[in-house]
Amino acid sequence: MPQIGSSKMTKLDIVANAARMVAPGKGILAADESTGTIEKRLAGIDVPSTEANRRDYRQLLFTTPGAEAHISGVILFDETLRQTGSNGVGLAKLLWDKGILPGIKVDAGAKGLAGSPGEMVTEGLDGLRERLAEYVELGAAFTKWRAVITIGAGLPTQACLQANAHALARYAALSQEAGLVPIVEPEVLMDGDHDLERCAEVTEAALQLTFRELFNQKVLLEGMILKPNMVLAGKNCARQNSIEEVAARTVAVLGRQVPAAVPGIAFLSGGQSEQEATAHLNAMNQLRNNLGPSPWQLSFSYGRALQASALQAWRGRADNVEAAQAAFAHRAKMNGLARGGEYDATMEQEV
Ligand code: 5MM
């Protein structure tokens, strides 16, 4: 298969890379925090967001011994794809050498949607074809685009759902044209006091429109990954649901809207704690094991839920690198086990 910097990817290569991204026992690390977000994360551990600190932190994650056993791909921010590690090797090459696929966030962020106060539409389509060609040269194997959908009084509007679905599909088609696997991320936010059923209703509507647009734009479903939210009650809802309720409702919504041709679903964590995100994924895979074979892999593409304890353990100090890597390796392993429904909360004591 063509590797780093190749512009000769065929449809078969794209399909093979998509399958590799959701290989059993593995999932994706989202390390594509944009400049503002990584600054916030580093501020949380009193570390200034300099280019060197961002590089050191991400290098720490990528060089974690054994991470490749449970991590199939890493989503990078533009800066990281261009960075070189302390040993002089490019970070993207370092990942390829470990058997981990590097990917790249290609959206330009969620901006206010004109005419829809409180709603956002993700931008970044202008010039995307040219940017993708450069990302191929820099060694990316896949891309990511995140749409943000807010639940509130009268929200989301059809205009918001439609605009975001259209942009996601245009992005996905351009990515495949460039030989890259698109991760399609329509995120229904956990913010608000809505209940589980309202989240289910909105998630279903968002997915339905997204797949309609993907079909319209002729996106090869076998060569993409869906990155959705789990179906959860809003953070401020008085009634929070059990792990089993969340798992059952999420799988039911996906079963109604995600075509069987899609190889895998890699959830975002969206503000859940590390252990909640793992327990939910585990319960979904247990459910699928009990119900019989599922059409798609149920995997993870977590940012915060894979990094929170590693970040806390690191705190910007070289002598904490080993402890931070142990924390990250532990989370990767727990989620790797959850991929097969083999996780148990008692395993959290292992680290
Ligand atoms: C890691 O966070 C990603 C980038 O966010 P910003 O564009 O706001 O900086 C984000 O897209 C991420 O890939 C997903 O939302 C999943 O992350 P979480 O933390 O929700 O699992």
Q: Write the residue with the smallest CA distance to atom 2 of ligand 1.
A: 33
Provide DSSP, 162-190: HHHHHHHHHHHHHHHHTT-EEEEEEEE--
d(CA 299, CA 336): 9
Ligand 1 centre to CA of 188 (Å) is 12
Residue 74 identity? V
- DSSP 3-state assignment of 96? helix
Q: Which of 40, 42, 58, 105 to mutate to test the pocket of ligand 1 (most atoms within 8 A of CB)?
A: 105
Contacts of 34 by beta carbon, 8 Å cutoff, 6+ apart: 77, 105, 109
pLDDT at 94: 98
- What's residue 3's pLDDT? 55
Closest residue CA from atom 11 of ligand 1: 146
**DSSP, res 118:** T
290 Cα to the center of ligand 1, angstroms: 31
Predicted pLDDT of residue 289: 78
Could you give the residue numbers annotated as active site? 185, 227
Per-residue CA distances from 203 to 161, 192, 216 (Å):
10, 15, 20
pLDDT at 243: 98
SS3 87: coil
Residues at CB less than 6 angstroms from ligand 1: 30, 32-34, 37, 75, 146, 187, 268-270, 302-305
Q: Which atom of ligand 1 is nearest the CA belonging to 306? A: 21
Whole-number Å distance between alpha carbons of 71 and 335: 9
Nearest alpha carbon, ligand 1 atom 3: 33
What separation in Å is there between the alpha carbon of 32 and the centre of ligand 1?
7
Distance between CA atoms of residues 301 and 313, nearest Å: 21
106 CA from centroid of ligand 1 (Å)? 13
Closest by CA to 313, choosing from 304, 323, 303, 305, is: 323
Ligand 1 pocket, mutate which of 230, 235, 268 (most atoms under 8 A from CB) = 268
Q: Find, among 57, 21, 19, the residue nearest to 38 by Cα.
A: 57
Ligand 1 atom closest to Cα of 307?
19
**Cα of 292 from ligand 1 centre, angstroms:** 32
State residue 351's pLDDT score: 64
Q: Which atom of ligand 1 is nearest to the CA of 109?
A: 7
Q: How confident is the chain (351 residues) per 10-residue block, as mean pLDDT?
A: 65 97 98 98 98 98 98 99 96 98 98 98 98 98 98 98 98 98 99 98 98 98 98 98 97 96 98 98 91 88 98 98 98 98 93 64
For residues 260 and 293, what is the distance between their CA atoms, to the nearest angstrom? 11
For residue 4, the model assigns a pLDDT of 57
Would you say domain 11-350 falls under CATH 3.40.50.300? no
Lookup result for tokens 């289910």: 200
> Ligand 1 test: best mutation among 28, 37, 145, most atoms within 8 Å of CB?
37
CA 30 to ligand 1 centroid distance, Å? 7
What separation in Å is there between the alpha carbon of 219 and the centre of ligand 1?
23
Measured by CA distance, the residue closest to atom 5 of ligand 1 is: 33
